[in-house]
Amino acid sequence: MSFLHNPTRYLWDKLIKKQIFVKSIYFMDEKYRKERFIIHNDEIACFGIFKSADTYCQLEDVGYFYNRNSLNSTTKQNFLPENINGRFQSIFTIMKYYYEKSENNTYEKFFGGYKFFTYRIVRRYADKIKYLTKGFDFIFFVIDIYLKSPFFDPTQKQLLNQIKSKIKTQKLLIYQKNK
């Protein structure tokens, strides 16, 4: 089974050997080790861990239940309009990381970067684009990496263009508002 098909990409539901964890830190470039992700830092760490491990397995037993109901959790707080810029910055930085670190592996680029993007932006944050106020150039830069890539088909690129168009509209609204 692949990390990219694993239903979770969280650190809290894994047991990791210390040597693998340390090795995974060096898998990440310096720029990503210094990045301060507001969210999704588990996913980028897990990607490095699975790329650094020679073997891994999945247990079927449930030994831990994660409580997601706390109103004070980072997950809930970052959906507030004032935190949306940080969320988008984190998501697009991680998309860039997946694309760069997957080398020429179409499978990883698709499940790591593209699926990550479509799940996060299209399904969870599309209605939050209206709160974006900055970081537009970086977002367009990352989307363009995917649009220029030979790894994605026209249907996938169409979805990327739709989101890019919505974000461009938001950028224009911010620009007109600040005139």
Q: What pLDDT, on a 0 to 100 scale, did the predictor assign at position 73?
A: 58
**Residue 9 pLDDT greater than 70, yes or no:** no
Least confidently predicted of 1-5, 32-36, 74-78, 88-92? 1-5
Mean pLDDT, residues 39-66 taken together: 73
| Sequence spans of domains, the chain | 3-177
The whole-model pTM stands at 0.71
Compute the mean pLDDT over every residue in the chain, rounded to the nearest whole number.
77
Q: Which of 119, 122, 101, 96 lies closest to 8, judged by CA?
A: 119
The amino acid occupying position 145 is: I
% residues pLDDT > 70 (the chain) = 74
Position 173 confidence tier, pLDDT thresholds 50, 70, 90: very high
In Å, how far from its chain's centre is CA 154? 22
- Point out the least confidently predicted range of 56-60, 77-81, 104-108, 110-114: 77-81
End-to-end distance of the chain based on CA atoms, in angstroms? Answer: 53
- Best CA proximity match to 109, nearest among 145, 133, 137, 75: 145
Q: At a CB cut-off of 8 Å and minimum separation 6, what does 42 contact? A: 9, 10, 11, 12
d(CA 49, CA 28) in angstroms, rounded, equals: 10
The Cα–Cα gap between 73 and 111 comes to 27
pLDDT tens-digit series, residues 138-162: 999 999 988 888 877 888 889 889 9
